[in-house]
Amino acid sequence: KVKFKIDDMGKVQHFYLTNNLKPKKIETSDNSDISSYLGLGLVSVGGIILISVLRKKGKVIGK
């Protein structure tokens, strides 16, 4: 709601209306970081390698 007054003086008057609101940041439900997935992947690969090495040495049941 904007109020303004027009004077009858015979001159051209200008009126500018600007939107000064900042746009809101859109948030998604996914706040995860790629580094957590990378760490989980490295631990998984390390576990697979460890199990395969132990199986070759015969220290793991289920050859």
pLDDT of residue 49: 93
> Global pTM?
0.44
Distance CA 43, CA 13 (A): 71
Q: pLDDT digit string (tens) for 41-50?
A: 999 999 999 9
Mean pLDDT of all residues in 29-51: 87
Q: Is the pLDDT of residue 30 over 80?
A: no
Residue 58: DSSP 8-state: T
More confident residue, 10 or 20: 20
Q: What is the dihedral of CA 33, 35, 36, 39, to 10 degrees?
A: 170
Place of tokens 């027009």: 6
Most confident of 3-7, 24-28, 45-49: 45-49
Token readout for 39 is 């760490």
Q: What is the dihedral of CA 52, 57, 61, 63, to 10 degrees?
A: 60
